[in-house]
Structure 1
Amino acid sequence: MFGAASAILSGPGAIGGSRGCRGYGTAATSSGQRLAQSGEGEGDDRDQDYAGHAGVRSPTTPAGGEGAGALQLLSPALEERLRRHADRYTQLEQQLASGSGSSSSGGGGGGGGGAAAAPSLRDLGREYARLQPLAHGYSRLLQVRAELSDLAALARDPDAGVRDMAAEEEAALRQEAADLTRRLLLALVPPDPAAARPALLEVRAGAGGAEAALFASELLAMYRRLAQSRGWTWEVLELGSSEHGGVRHATVSVSDPAAPSHPGSGSSGSSAGDGDAAAAGGPEGAGEGVYGVLSGESGVHRVQRVPVTDAGGRLHTSTAAVVVLPQADEVDVRLREEDLRVETMRASGAGGQHVNVTDSAVRVTHLPTGLVVSCQNERSQHLNRAAALKVLRSRLYELEAQKRARAAGEQRSALVATADRSERVRTYNFPQGRVTDHRIHLTVHDLASVLEAGEGLQRLMEGLRAAREEAALAALLEEGRQ
């Protein structure tokens, strides 16, 4: 359907053959290999003909009523958190009006004194701007509650016309209260600190031989189109081509040149101290970067179609594994030279006269963990070493994130109900022209639009994001009841 892998990955560093960066002994890579082999046998796709979300409903809208009961959803604990944020907003407003705060733009700098430096006016202004939507929303919610209380008397008015008018206004106010409550709750959901980061995207062909490699190349092309449409930078770190223009394995660095140089550092500057979205960057969707957009793509992608190589016209099922990691840098993961074993060797695979002539390929072993990354995509040994260290940092960062998640008693994919890297996430059914996301039971009957990274793919990604929000809201409400 699409061109050869070299055409798909044309650009700096896009060299055919088995050249690039490869990692061994890593959680990400081993899971990618395991996922790639976990495809199911041929047969009917049981998750068919879903036209939308199944069983996904806003926690702020109980069944059987538009916003009914929304006023009771805020537990005392959640109400107190909102009140604290609103109070902090008022305090900041007064501080900024009086000009109290450090005139320095460093924001709590690292002086040698024992006391922490006062936050700068710039830092206070940023915190004020982050809290403003939440404070205004909470203020409006309190106002709506008061208006609903006033309407109670009109509901008992002897004039039927007045009662009807009061009932109509009450319904509108209750719906507004439900919408406000949802937005406020989303602002309290702790954000993923890695969401704004660049990403490492790994695609690996799985069960299905040459057909699986062709499917992997199509997935890679889909993600590249998505990156191009959003103005992201696409840097190929690893590319292993196969016959017929397929891709056996590939690793790509995807970043947003317009994003901050070091997102997700976790320093919010807020004294609210809840670690929620209001304190760390704003309401829903705020601060979502490349990793936040692509993270839901991890898992087994399955294709059902008649391969061009099958003269019998039989329907085949093949798979490809996708793993998305948040990209780390020197600030996040400091690599000590004594912890690294760096080996150089001659590059192998396609690449012309350069191959097997110079020792440009690099293999880096992280001795404490045993993680190994090899890179030979560039002609320069220095560039290959830098690329290998980039992959190594991201995998060490991911291992540490998984360790923290286990210590907290939660899974890394907790925001998506039933979502896990080890399970099938999507099926691309060519005969029926549809793509089904099995995690949210959402089917898009426009396969071409999905593979072209058009509206179809956007619908799938937005559906997954909505499901994540619902799961996060449900967890927050449960936490507030405890």
Structure 2
Amino acid sequence: MPIVSRYRQYRKLSAQLEEAQAILDDPAAEAEFRELAESEVGQIQRQQADLLDEIKDTLVMSDDAAVGSIIMELRAGTGGEEAALFVRDLYQMYTRYADKHNWKVELMDFSPTDMGGYRELIMNIKGPAVWAHFGYEGGGHRVQRVPQTESQGRVHTSAATVAVLPEPEEVDIQIDPEDVIEHVSCAGGPGGQNVNKVASAIKLEHIPTGIVVSMRDERSQHKNRAKAWRILRSRLFEYNQNKLNQERSNARKTMIGSGDRSQRIRTYNFPQNRLTDHRINLSLYNLDRILMGDIEELIAALQDYDKQQRLENL
């Protein structure tokens, strides 16, 4: 229901509430009418409260709900091979959650390791309100566990960074082709092997911002170019949004975190089966289920906290 319709409904309920209240205030009103008015007052007030929550929700969260495509970039941080395996775990957690919602996941680029981890991974997720669910994942993720290669049973700490970029429509962000330098080269595969002897790898360099995007996933130069432009568009969109946030009150960035990749937002502690989100001081002791994609409780808590903070800053 559009916000205007909700507001009209709220005004209508207010008029009904006044009528019922007038009957209660009238000492000459018959007992039967007073009893009916009394029950109506409680019902109307509950309807108004629900409607007011919906109006507030729409006011502060509608922009997030409108974004139906994101690009997620996962990168291994400190911890070597263990950090790369953690990137794999995060990737699986996100894709399992996406599968539950029937969202489309496209693996755009990845750099695998010998043990099955990923040094870097970029994917596109499309679906209704996908940004409203994954928009809080940007930042530093820390894992504490005993690595497979650890013979002494000692707990190691590793890290990964996640960037979540809303994928804008082409009309939302215009890029002057004169500002972009394109480099074409042969695509090298894992272990130094050649994916293709033909020059198919694409690197785009956006001169005004210094943003560089490389894509070598596909054998087709055309497909690599298209993917690279999509990622460049999203990174520029993020760059412009961050610049806008700094110029404004910076309110969004202080609410639940900036999404800055250097900001540690979460710890995954395997010995305690615990996940802690440091932004909202929330600890959940079902890490095994969370890594299987059961992150509804976590996302709901982040959304609720974010909504309350936005309402306070209206």
Instruction: Give the structure-2-normalised TM-score.
Output: 0.86
Q: Write the deviation string for residues 29-57 of structure 1: whole angstroms up to 9, x where unpaired.
A: xxxxxxxxxxxxxxxxxxxxxxxxxxxxx
* Map of 2:250 onto structure 1: 410
Q: Cα RMSD between the aligned structures? A: 3.0
* Map of 2:234 onto structure 1: 394
Q: Would the aligned equivalents of 1:141 and 1:180 in 2 still touch at CA under 8 Å?
A: no
Structure 2 residue identity aligned to 1:137: Y
* Map of 1:439 onto structure 2: 279
Q: Distance in 2 between matches of 1:314 and 1:233?
A: 39
Structure 2 residue aligned with 1:239, among 107, 110, 125?
110
How much has 1:148 moved relative to structure 2?
4.3
1:467 maps onto 2:305 in alignment: yes
Structure 1 residue aligned with 2:89, among 218, 227, 238?
218
Q: Would the aligned equivalents of 1:297 and 1:322 in 2 still touch at CA under 8 Å?
A: yes
Higher helix share: 2
Q: Would the aligned equivalents of 2:82 and 2:158 in 1 still touch at CA under 8 Å?
A: yes
Write out aligned runs for 1:140-179 (5 A). 140-148=13-21, 150-151=23-24, 174-179=45-50
Q: Would the aligned equivalents of 2:204 and 2:228 in 1 still touch at CA under 8 Å?
A: yes
Q: Would the aligned equivalents of 1:141 and 1:181 in 2 still touch at CA under 8 Å?
A: no
Structure 2 residue aligned with 1:359, among 199, 220, 227?
199
Structure 1 residue aligned with 2:164, among 309, 315, 324?
324
Q: Write the deviation string for residues 219-242 of structure 1: whole angstroms up to 9, x where unpaired.
A: 011111122222222222221112
How much has 1:392 moved relative to structure 2?
0.7
Q: Distance in 2 between matches of 1:419 and 1:370?
A: 21
| SS at structure 2 position matched to 1:453 | coil
Q: Would the aligned equivalents of 1:198 and 1:326 in 2 still touch at CA under 8 Å?
A: yes
Structure 1 165/147 Cα, relative in aligned 2: closer, same or farther at 3 Å?
Answer: closer
Q: Distance in 2 between matches of 1:448 and 1:233?
A: 24
Structure 1 330/166 Cα, relative in aligned 2: closer, same or farther at 3 Å?
Answer: closer
* Map of 1:292 onto structure 2: 132
Write out aligned runs for 1:106-121 (5 A). none
1:187 maps onto 2:58 in alignment: yes
Q: Distance in 2 between matches of 1:303 and 1:152?
A: 63
| SS at structure 2 position matched to 1:439 | coil
Q: Distance in 1 between matches of 2:223 and 2:132?
A: 27
| SS at structure 2 position matched to 1:413 | helix
Q: Distance in 2 between matches of 1:187 and 1:356?
A: 50
Identical pairs, percent? 37
Structure 1 residues without counterparts, runs of 5 or longer: 1-127, 257-287, 477-482
Q: Distance in 2 between matches of 1:130 and 1:172?
A: 22
Q: Would the aligned equivalents of 2:196 and 2:219 in 1 still touch at CA under 8 Å?
A: no
Q: Would the aligned equivalents of 1:301 and 1:322 in 2 still touch at CA under 8 Å?
A: yes
Q: Distance in 1 between matches of 2:239 and 2:207?
A: 15
1:209 maps onto 2:76 in alignment: no
How much has 1:443 moved relative to structure 2?
2.6
Higher strand share: 2
Q: Quick one: higher RCO (CA 8 Å, sep 6+), 1 or 2?
A: 1
Q: Distance in 1 between matches of 2:18 and 2:35?
A: 19
How much has 1:325 moved relative to structure 2?
0.4
Q: Would the aligned equivalents of 2:141 and 2:265 in 1 still touch at CA under 8 Å?
A: yes
* Map of 1:372 onto structure 2: 212
How much has 1:132 moved relative to structure 2?
2.3
Structure 1 251/185 Cα, relative in aligned 2: closer, same or farther at 3 Å?
Answer: same
Structure 1 253/210 Cα, relative in aligned 2: closer, same or farther at 3 Å?
Answer: same
Q: Distance in 2 between matches of 1:376 and 1:308?
A: 31
Structure 2 residue aligned with 1:337, among 173, 177, 180?
177
Q: Would the aligned equivalents of 1:151 and 1:170 in 2 still touch at CA under 8 Å?
A: no
Structure 1 330/437 Cα, relative in aligned 2: closer, same or farther at 3 Å?
Answer: same
How much has 1:436 moved relative to structure 2?
2.1
Q: Distance in 1 between matches of 2:203 and 2:51?
A: 54
How much has 1:214 moved relative to structure 2?
0.8
Write out aligned runs for 1:3-152 (5 A). 131-148=4-21, 150-151=23-24
1:458 maps onto 2:296 in alignment: yes
Q: Distance in 2 between matches of 1:361 and 1:238?
A: 12
How much has 1:129 moved relative to structure 2?
5.3
Q: Would the aligned equivalents of 1:329 and 1:394 in 2 still touch at CA under 8 Å?
A: no
How much has 1:153 moved relative to structure 2?
5.9
Aligned pairs, number: 310
| SS at structure 2 position matched to 1:388 | helix
Q: Write the deviation string for residues 75-133 of structure 1: whole angstroms up to 9, x where unpaired.
A: xxxxxxxxxxxxxxxxxxxxxxxxxxxxxxxxxxxxxxxxxxxxxxxxxxxxx856323
Structure 2 residues without counterparts, runs of 5 or longer: none
Instruction: Give the structure-1-normalised TM-score.
Output: 0.58
How much has 1:468 moved relative to structure 2?
1.3
Structure 1 427/381 Cα, relative in aligned 2: closer, same or farther at 3 Å?
Answer: same
Structure 2 residue identity aligned to 1:449: R
